[in-house]
Chains A and B, each alone.
Chain A
Amino acid sequence: MNAFVEPATMPGSGVTKGEVLLSVANVSLAFGGVKAITDISFDIRKGEIRAIIGPNGAGKTSMLNVINGFYHPQEGTITWRGKARRKMKPYEAASQGIARTFQNVALFKGMTTLDNIMTGRGLAMKKNFLWQCLHWGPALKEEIVHRHRVEEIIDFLEIQAIRKTPVGRLPYGLQKRVELARALAMEPELLLLDEPMAGMNLEEKEDMSRFILDVNQQFGTTIALIEHDMGVVMDLSDRVVVLDYGRKIADGIPEEVQKNQDVIDAYLGVPHEE
């Protein structure tokens, strides 16, 4: 489905389309006694939409938290752009081009849609404190340059009308969209989406699916997507990794995964042999 896209290389990244952008190898994560992730390995290739699926509590969100540096796995290595990554803070992962949205909307409630998205541009803005005090000259120019970028994203996601609305007042579906906008404002190389369509009606889901595909195809952004709706997963993703009780039980193209007996059992709740 990505057949029409010309091989894109994000500026500065050095990873070309189809190559491995991020890989996790033998990663395990435990919270005290609770094992959230056990010995999981998979990779994400540049330019693909990689779905991560699994029943509730399978460890999907924990996996994303590991990828963007929010949790630190006890074991395993993470390789980003071909280099093994040391333990890093979330803001460092962000500055290396990893953005995400959250399962439960995590917008800045007291700020307008515009300010939420502008915050996503923060890493790209360089003018120092003294210029900020003046809000004039180079600082104003910078602000306007980034405002233009943000307006492009606003147009892209069709949220012009709610620009100046405090996000706390928006309906849930729109909040999810603003959250996507904020992540896109970072111009990430890898975009992690944690259940972007949860709690949406059919129409909203269709819109969101279209946006995700457009982001992937127009900007060449690599996407890791957690989603429970199997229809959506089959339609959108290039490859799927399936987790269950913190372990990987399947990995491959959607058609294969759908037929896999372990996956069917996991979703039907067949008890474990052990």
Chain B
Amino acid sequence: MLYREAGQFKTTYDADQAIFPIAQDRWAVIAFAAIAFLVVPFFVNDYWTNAVLLPLLIYGLAALGLNILVGYCGQISLGTGGFMAVGAFASYKLMTSFPELNIAIVVLLSGGATALVGVMFGLPSLRIKGFYLAVATLAAQFFLVWLFNKVGWFYNYSATGQISVPERSIFGLVVTGPTAAPWVKYLFCLSFLALFGLIAKNVVRGRIGRNWMAIRDMDIAAELIGVRPLQTKLSAFAFSSFYVGMAGSLLFTIYLGAIEVTEVFGINVSFLVLFMVIIGGLGSILGSFLGATFLVLMPIFLKNFMVDGLGLLPVLAKHVEILLMGLLIMGFLIVEPHGLARMWQILKEKFRLWPFPY
């Protein structure tokens, strides 16, 4: 009986409309944010930031973006890797062309550039659906990676085709490049995720979010109540690509520092982010984070367990890991297609009834 809304009466629609209507949820989120912002930075080291926290935050942002498109608007995309590459290369060009530009602005502008590209590749969505749209976005994936690999202008004609990030600071603290402190990188990415997580939550519970979901659930009925299909779908492509582009930008500038496009933004990234969304829960903001956390942490656990625990060879462990991930994903799709977010919800419903079974 710890988790109940009994006694919490809502007397205005304002209160009923609040972001976390149940008080326990509200406090849990505030406490979680406080720990993430105020406590964790004091304890992070290089290993934790690079192996766990940064990938978690950055892929969380990408999964959030893809979930808007796939989970909320029902438009499939296999181009996430390519769109992340757009964000990364936009950042590189912006940073090398305008050295004065603040790094936070660079990340935002990179998101904006990716949004434009996303809209361009979203145009076919008016005519084609489902599987065919997936193939069209797959074409975007391969085209974009090919483009950044082929056209020298994007990597400033460097001999290797690699791009590496110049050093930048924010509030006097170095945040990109090898000298940046782990806690600065962590806080920078965390701020983006928290801010844009909040914005996403706001958008999906307003008019635009409802229009997205209407198109997803029954596009003909949506159009007959006045939802414009093209505008609505393209806004989802833009919004989603904005997030994915920022994730690509952060991945390059903050996390990796130097990249080669075919290695970092290949088709496997598109699938990885899609799996995060599916495992986390389609059409759930929280699910995006849960999915990203799950798929970032799982390989680390598996590796630690198999190599350090069972003493397997690292190569063998890697293969077993891939196999297990595949099985896990299939298991998820069969047992709980609505993902971790739905499991969490069921758990909460159980908690409300506890100690009674029904």
Binding site for B on A (CB under 8 A): 68, 70, 89-91, 93-95, 99-100, 102, 106-111, 115, 118-120, 122-123, 125, 127, 129, 132-136, 139-140, 143-144, 147-148, 151, 182-183, 186
Q: A134-B202, A147-B17 are in contact. Are A95 and B226 (CB under 8 A)?
A: yes
Cβ of B223 under 8 Å from chain A: yes
Partner of A91, one of B203, B223, B283: B223
In the assembled complex, the Cα of A140 lies from the Cα of B19 at a distance in Å of 11
Contacts of B218 in A (CB 8 A): 106-109
Q: A134-B202, A143-B206 are in contact. Are A107 and B224 (CB under 8 A)?
A: no
Who on chain A is nearest to B229 by CB? Answer: A91
What 1/0 mask marks residues of chain B from 289 to 313 whose CB sits below 8 Å from any chain A CB? 0000000000000000000000000
In the assembled complex, the Cα of A134 lies from the Cα of B222 at a distance in Å of 25
Show 23 residue pairs from A and B whose CB-CB distance is below 8 angstroms, ordered by the A residue: A70-B220, A89-B223, A91-B227, A91-B229, A94-B226, A99-B225, A106-B218, A108-B216, A109-B217, A111-B214, A120-B225, A123-B226, A127-B207, A129-B203, A132-B203, A132-B206, A132-B209, A134-B202, A135-B205, A140-B14, A140-B17, A143-B206, A147-B17
The total number of A-B Cβ pairs within 8 Å is: 103
Shortest beta-carbon distance from A103 to chain B in Å: 12
17 extra interchain contacts, Cβ-Cβ under 8 A, other than A91-B229, A122-B226? A68-B224, A90-B220, A90-B224, A99-B224, A106-B218, A107-B218, A115-B213, A122-B207, A122-B211, A122-B225, A122-B227, A133-B199, A134-B202, A135-B203, A143-B206, A144-B14, A183-B225
A119 and B210 contact, CB distance less than 8 A: yes
Cβ of B228 under 8 Å from chain A: yes
Give me the 7 closest cross-chain CB pairs, A-B, nearest first.
Answer: A135-B202, A94-B226, A108-B217, A106-B221, A123-B226, A132-B206, A147-B13
Cβ of B181 under 8 Å from chain A: no
In the assembled complex, the Cα of A73 lies from the Cα of B199 at a distance in Å of 44
Tell me whether chain B's interface is mostly helix, strand or loop, or mixed: helix
Shortest beta-carbon distance from B353 to chain A in Å: 17
Contacts of A109 in B (CB 8 A): 217-218
Shortest beta-carbon distance from A31 to chain B in Å: 16
Cβ of B208 under 8 Å from chain A: yes
In the assembled complex, the Cα of A109 lies from the Cα of B229 at a distance in Å of 18
Most chain A Cβ neighbours within 10 Å, of B207, B211, B216:
B207
Contacts of A110 in B (CB 8 A): 213, 216-217, 283
Who on chain A is nearest to B221 by CB? Answer: A106
Contacts of A90 in B (CB 8 A): 220, 223-224
A108 and B202 contact, CB distance less than 8 A: no
In the assembled complex, the Cα of A9 lies from the Cα of B205 at a distance in Å of 35
Most chain A Cβ neighbours within 10 Å, of B13, B17, B209, B283:
B13
Partner of A119, one of B14, B203, B227: B227
Who on chain A is nearest to B217 by CB? Answer: A108
A107 and B221 contact, CB distance less than 8 A: yes
In the assembled complex, the Cα of A106 lies from the Cα of B214 at a distance in Å of 10
Contacts of B283 in A (CB 8 A): 110
Partner of B211, one of A70, A119, A140: A119
Binding site for A on B (CB under 8 A): 13-14, 17, 19, 199, 202-203, 205-211, 213-214, 216-218, 220-229, 235, 283
Contacts of A107 in B (CB 8 A): 217-218, 221
In the assembled complex, the Cα of A133 lies from the Cα of B204 at a distance in Å of 9
B225 and A115 contact, CB distance less than 8 A: no
B205 and A182 contact, CB distance less than 8 A: no
Most chain B Cβ neighbours within 10 Å, of A90, A125, A143:
A90
In the assembled complex, the Cα of A125 lies from the Cα of B221 at a distance in Å of 18
Q: A106-B218, A182-B225 are in contact. Are A144 and B13 (CB under 8 A)?
A: yes
Who on chain A is nearest to B21 by CB? Answer: A164
Contacts of B222 in A (CB 8 A): 108, 119
Contacts of A70 in B (CB 8 A): 220, 224
Who on chain B is nearest to A182 by CB? Answer: B225
Contacts of A127 in B (CB 8 A): 207
Who on chain A is nearest to B338 by CB? Answer: A110
Who on chain A is nearest to B228 by CB? Answer: A91
Contacts of B229 in A (CB 8 A): 91
B213 and A108 contact, CB distance less than 8 A: yes
A129 and B217 contact, CB distance less than 8 A: no
Q: A108-B218, A115-B213, A140-B14 are in contact. Are A94 and B225 (CB under 8 A)?
A: yes
Shortest beta-carbon distance from B150 to chain A in Å: 35
Shortest beta-carbon distance from A175 to chain B in Å: 12
Who on chain B is nearest to A168 by CB? Answer: B217
In the assembled complex, the Cα of A118 lies from the Cα of B17 at a distance in Å of 12
In the assembled complex, the Cα of A144 lies from the Cα of B12 at a distance in Å of 9
Who on chain B is nearest to A131 by CB? Answer: B206
In the assembled complex, the Cα of A136 lies from the Cα of B19 at a distance in Å of 11
Who on chain B is nearest to A94 by CB? Answer: B226
Who on chain B is nearest to A69 by CB? Answer: B224
Contacts of B207 in A (CB 8 A): 122, 125, 127, 132, 143
B17 and A108 contact, CB distance less than 8 A: no
In the assembled complex, the Cα of A182 lies from the Cα of B227 at a distance in Å of 13
Q: A107-B218, A125-B207, A127-B207 are in contact. Are A143 and B17 (CB under 8 A)?
A: yes
